[in-house]
Structures are given as C-alpha cells and as structure tokens.
Structure 1
Amino acid sequence: MDSEQHRRYQISMVSTYYPKTSFLDSVVMPDGTEQSQGSDILTRLHSGEVFIVNSRRRNGLILFKRYHAEFAGPGAAVGGDYDCDCQRALPIGNLSLLTPDSNEERQKAYLIRRQWIRLIKQITENPIPGQRVQKILDQFEQYFPPEIVALLPDLAFALLVGVLPQTVGLVRRLGSEMDSRFNY
C-alpha cells in the first residue's frame, strides 16, 4: 500500500513538469545587472554564419543551451548550425568575433571548439560535484583575471559542469575550506 502511494506521488510530480519553461529568462549577474536575452551576440549566432572567437584576446562565450552550457574559448568556432539551439550567450572578457577567411580556418576553429568541449567533459567526469565546481573555477581563473571570473553567475558554472547553482555558490564562499570528504 505504501509503495502504491509513493508511486502516485512520483507520477504526480512528473505530471507537473513543464518542459517549455525556460529558467534562462533572467540570468542575473552577481553585481545585480541582468543580461538581455535579445543580445546582438545571440542574433549573430542565430544568423547561420560561423564566427571564430578571437584567439589573440582573453575572451570567450558561455553558450546556454536548453539543459546545459558550453564554453567557446579563444580560437573556437561559434554560430552556424552548431549553435542554432543557443538560448543565451554570455561574453567573457572583451569579446571579439571574427569571420573565417577560408575553409581551413573554419575547420581549425571547429577542432579548437571540440578541444574546449573535451576540457569541460574531463571536468564533469569527476563524480564529486564540489570538486567539479572547484576545477572549473580554477580553469577559468587560469584564462581570465579572478575579478572577471567572480562576476560570472553561479548558474553559468552550474550548467557547464552539471551541478546546482547552490553548489557553485557554496564552493565560491567556502573555497579551500571545504572538506573533500563531503560530496557537496
């Protein structure tokens, strides 16, 4: 009898799920500002044209997809068919997008984008959420000044490595004081 009631509860939880609801409607930065969803960058990404994140600058894009986020760092291709499902784009640093001059340049940019994806994949393979967060924060602080990383919202890092935004906030607040024995 109890298992039947438990199963009904689970069914009712599933029935209240609304897959069309977007939680990215209001990404608020730590300083309280809000990035508009109809940004010029998103319009450019949806144009179908392929761009390259300028490899001569410390810049990049966090691309928010429906259920996750991807990072496209210096040298990576963005746009085209690959990012048509992008719902929001968060620029990091002084973003500069270039148009590839040749097919070879475009192909090289796609390979670099794949390398950025593999880097994030390696981080997400860690089974301990808090360690994934610490690793992604460390990686971003290697590429960007800590004051820029501090301005990025918890949601961005959470979607990059598959954790809750609260976990990112906890790791940011407690940092190295966190005990690795806990699966936070």
Structure 2
Amino acid sequence: MDSEQPTRYQTAMVSTYYPETSFLNHLLMPDGTEQSCGSDILNLLHSGKVLIVNSRKRNGLILFKRYHAEFAGPGAAVGGEYDSDCQMVLPIGNLSLLDPESYEERQKAYLIRRQWIRLIKQITENPVPQQRVQKILDQFDQYFPAEIVADLPDAAFALLVGVFPQTARMVRRFGSEVDGRFNY
C-alpha cells in the first residue's frame, strides 16, 4: 500500500556563503556611511615592513583577514609576513604607527600582539554568541571613549568574536540579555 511508505521530501539547500564577495567590501558604519578601506595603511602593511602601534596612545587597528578580524592594540606589531593576508584595516582612535628601534623592541611588540590575540581568543571561547559580543564591547568600552566604540561597525565586532553581524547589531541595541530566539 502506498500510504505505508514513508513520505520523502526533497529540499533545496540554501547557502549564504558567497565566495567571490565579502561583506567587507560593503562595511557600513552605524551612521550609514561606508567605511574607507584604510588603503594607505593597508599598503604600508603589505609592504612587508613591521611597525608598532604606539603604546603611548589609545589607538589600535582592526585587521580584517579573509574569514575573521584581529585587533592590534597599543604596543602590538603589525605588518610584515604576519599581516600579508590582511584585506582591510580599520584604525581606531588617533592611530600612530612607529618603526621598531631595535630587535628587542620588535620582539616585545610581537609578544604584545600575541597577548591581544589571546584576549580575543578567551572571549571567543564562550559558546553563547551574545555574550561574546557583549564581552568584546565591554573590553572596547573600557579602553576607548564611548563615541569611538559607537562609531565602529557591527561587522567589525562580529568578525572579531565569530558571530553574525546581525547578532552584534542586536546586542548593541538590546544588550546581551536578548532571548534565545536570536542565537545567530
């Protein structure tokens, strides 16, 4: 009998992965303006030269790689082979990059970069996406003035902690207590 056979459904797979396009190409700031790609800084990083984010200022760089972003804060090394895959940069604060004066200063800057990476890694180990976003927002709020943090795009925070941009947007609007319906 036909009614005894299980019904089979054929579904179409829907993908939101676009290998040839990236939302980095259309990074919008919270005020709706499109962010420039920091091409001068990016060219400097791609030159192979190692620079240090000035540790005497509240500044830094968000370095956008293909599938994630990294934050290089004060004292961190940027450029060289390490950032050759960087696709875009977003300066934070009044960015100041310095040439390392010695081998020891360069090594120290690499260690500081590693510390910034470890901080972000600790945040991303939280399995709850909203809490990851809230934690990175808290970190940035502690270090940078509120108006600077408010001007950073949702996509930057999303790529830093491995969530969708809409999750970052929701947390920024409603806080991390957004109920489970928004687990993006």
- Same-fold status (TM-score > 0.5): yes
Q: Percent identity?
A: 75
1:51 matched to which residue of 2?
51
Report matched runs for 1:59-70 at 5 Å: 59-70=59-70
Secondary structure at the residue paired with 1:2? Answer: coil
1:21 matched to which residue of 2?
21
Moved over 6 A (4+): 180-183
**Structure 1 residues 112-121 or 22-31, which shifts more?**
22-31
1:72 matched to which residue of 2?
72
Cα distance, 1:62 vs structure 2? 0.3
Query: For residues 107 and 130 of structure 1, do their structure 2 counterparts lie closer, same or farther at Cα, with a shift above 3 Å needed?
Result: same
Secondary structure at the residue paired with 1:120? Answer: helix
In structure 2, the gaps of 5 or more residues are: 1-6
2:94 matched to which residue of 1?
94
Q: Under a length normalisation based on structure 1, what TM-score does the superposition of the two structures give?
A: 0.89
Maintained 8 Å contact 1:29/1:152: yes
Maintained 8 Å contact 2:38/2:90: no
Out of 2, 9, 13, the residue aligned to residue 8 of structure 2 is 2
Distance in 2 separating the partners of 1:158 and 1:127: 14
In structure 1, the gaps of 5 or more residues are: none
Maintained 8 Å contact 2:167/2:182: no
1:73-124, CA deviations, whole angstroms, 9 ceiling, x for partnerless residues?
0000000000011010000000000010111111100000000000000000
Q: Under a length normalisation based on structure 2, what TM-score does the superposition of the two structures give?
A: 0.89
Q: How many residues align?
A: 177
Maintained 8 Å contact 2:59/2:92: yes
Maintained 8 Å contact 1:60/1:73: yes
Distance in 1 separating the partners of 2:18 and 2:32: 28
Secondary structure at the residue paired with 1:35? Answer: coil
Distance in 1 separating the partners of 2:165 and 2:77: 27
Cα distance, 1:18 vs structure 2? 4.3
Structure whose CA Rg is larger? 2
1:173 matched to which residue of 2?
173
CA RMSD, Structure 1 to Structure 2 (Å): 2.0
